[in-house]
Structure 1
């Protein structure tokens, strides 16, 4: 279910949900949940199962129960678009969690920061903690290791008999970790690893180092 790695002499736990836990700081990082996307597409006639909405919140609950973090840091695109019926579900979820919630705003986060702040969620463009730069879009900044989202990274695995499998992944370079999309109704953008890349593929219940 998890894989533990060291970054900048700190311990990070990669979870099969796509979340990342910073052990020393007790912070969970989650990227690209895209809450509200299911309701948005259903409103416009797409046949997306209603149960997908519940799966997003169930997965959030499972991660919080597993790590019991002091803080939850959403690395952008928490909500897909404007407020819709899923906002109340999110508001209820925030109310019942004991963790401090932080949103690093992404390109889809067009809901007013005031609306988030009214329910206790702190909103910012980026955040620096020790030697780590937290952003939505991937950034390169000298002396800082970047934790980010936005890309929805995936890896293409080839097997015998011309079998091919696309899986979401954590995509790590020397100075950056791109988190997979957490939301259940999101796509995958396949990245090509270099010799220095570390790719941790996510199956249904495991995190596996593949390169």
Structure 2
């Protein structure tokens, strides 16, 4: 794989070619679709509302990350695989204002949100954001687009929810990196949000692991 190719890994799932992106998203070239899990807009705002001193600017980081993807990949639709808004407290005027300004710059882009557990508590995004709301499983071609990876479906599941990370270990060091987990019946995406954290995963038998680091994504040998 050349240096220019390290931003993505092309994999075949359910007869379709998907790109696992270093930016912690999935691109489906045939559909010109980006899939993003667990962006958690307004999470930092919700923490500050509870008196927890956390950094500002995470909404801007998330929107800039989306813009970078849209500049790099031809895209007609973004599907958010759950947890778009973190909580009701995420509906701060500054947060919603930044999101609305971004939406106005991308009026032709279709946005779809598969409701996740945080969305059920936060409520649907404002109508002005023009996001199509669906419940899981959301069938698109051979895939069931979900938030929860353990949902039983006849189609191949693409989901998020668990914010997977993987520990890469050497004799002297350990790296904790966001990862994609690809199994026989489902794939789990890493969390996309700038302030979401992660949970270490032990891959199941036969499950492939792809980690993201800086501007590269690569498969971890010995899994799958």
Q: TM-score, normalised by structure 2?
A: 0.87
Counterpart of 1:87 (choices 96, 110, 118) is 96
Count of equivalent residues:
209
What do residues 142-197 of structure 1 show as CA deviations (whole Å, max 9, x unaligned)? 53100001000111111122x21111101111010111000011111111113411
Alignment correspondent of 1:72: 78
Mapping for residues 1-211 of structure 1, pairs under 5 Å: 1-82=7-88, 83-84=91-92, 85-97=94-106, 98-109=108-119, 110-113=121-124, 115-126=125-136, 127-161=138-172, 163-210=173-220, 211=223
Aligned with 1:49: secondary structure? Answer: coil
SS of residue matched to 2:30: coil
**8 Å contact from structure 1 (residues 117, 123) kept in 2:** no
Once residues 187 and 54 of structure 1 are traced to their aligned partners in structure 2, the CA distance between those partners, rounded to angstroms, is: 17
Distance in structure 2 (CA, Å) of the matches to 1:99 and 1:90:
14
SS in 2 for 1:24: helix
CA RMSD of aligned residues (A): 1.6
CA distance in 2, matches of 1:119, 1:166: 34
2: CA distance, partners of 1:79 / 1:70: 22
Secondary structure of the corresponding residue to residue 101 of structure 1: strand
Instruction: Note if contact 1:131-1:143 (Cα within 8 Å) is conserved in structure 2.
Output: no
Indicate if the aligned counterparts of 2:144 and 2:153 stay in contact, CA closer than 8 A. no
Deviates more, 1:131-140 or 1:19-28: 131-140
Is the 8 Å Cα contact of residues 140 and 175 (structure 1) preserved in structure 2? no
